[in-house]
């Protein structure tokens, strides 16, 4: 188990979200969060619950992850992404559809990518 995988365990609150070049207003994020426990995740965001398995590869540059959805609206899909972990701040950028893994932490109209900044919840 990599250090990053260990350090990602816990609850992460989504503090900012950009989808295909559009910033989602902070008020719409509400209590959106991702919980990582062992090799699984639960994402609660904007009225939907997503669950599945979570894999990271901290050896790549940029570091990569895959969210494999087993329950919820995305069941059967995989979202490949990239991430940076800096203490209690986790920055991710992921594909919303298909297997087009982002290479940078930016989104653009029609890209099919979303970028999020998350902060570790108080334990």
Give residue limits of the domains in the chain.
Answer: 3-120
Under a CB-based contact definition with an 8 Å cutoff, are residues 82 and 66 in contact?
no
CATH topology of domain 3-120: Lipocalin (2.40.128)
Reported as type and span, the H/E element at residue 17 is strand 10-19
In the prediction, which pLDDT does 98 show? 80
In the prediction, which pLDDT does 27 show? 86
Arithmetic mean of pLDDT over the chain = 93
Q: Name the stretches of the chain with pLDDT < 50.
A: none
In the prediction, which pLDDT does 21 show? 95
**Spatial distance between the Cα atoms of 93 and 61, rounded to a whole number of angstroms:** 13
In the prediction, which pLDDT does 13 show? 95
Residue that the structure tokens 């590869």 belong to? 57
In the prediction, which pLDDT does 1 show? 56
In the prediction, which pLDDT does 54 show? 94
């Amino acid at each position: 188990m990599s250090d990053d995988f260990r350090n990602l365990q816990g609850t992460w609150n989504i503090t900012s979200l950009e989808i295909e070049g559009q910033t989602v207003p902070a008020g719409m994020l509400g209590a959106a969060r991702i919980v990582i426990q062992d090799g699984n995740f639960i994402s609660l965001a904007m009225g939907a619950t997503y669950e599945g398995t979570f894999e990271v590869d901290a050896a790549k540059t940029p570091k990569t992850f895959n969210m494999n959805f087993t329950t919820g609206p995305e069941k059967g899909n995989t979202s490949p992404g990239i991430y940076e972990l800096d203490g209690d701040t986790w920055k991710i950028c992921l594909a919303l559809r298909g297997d087009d893994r982002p290479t940078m932490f930016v989104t653009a109209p029609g890209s099919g990518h979303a970028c999020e900044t998350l902060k570790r919840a108080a334990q």
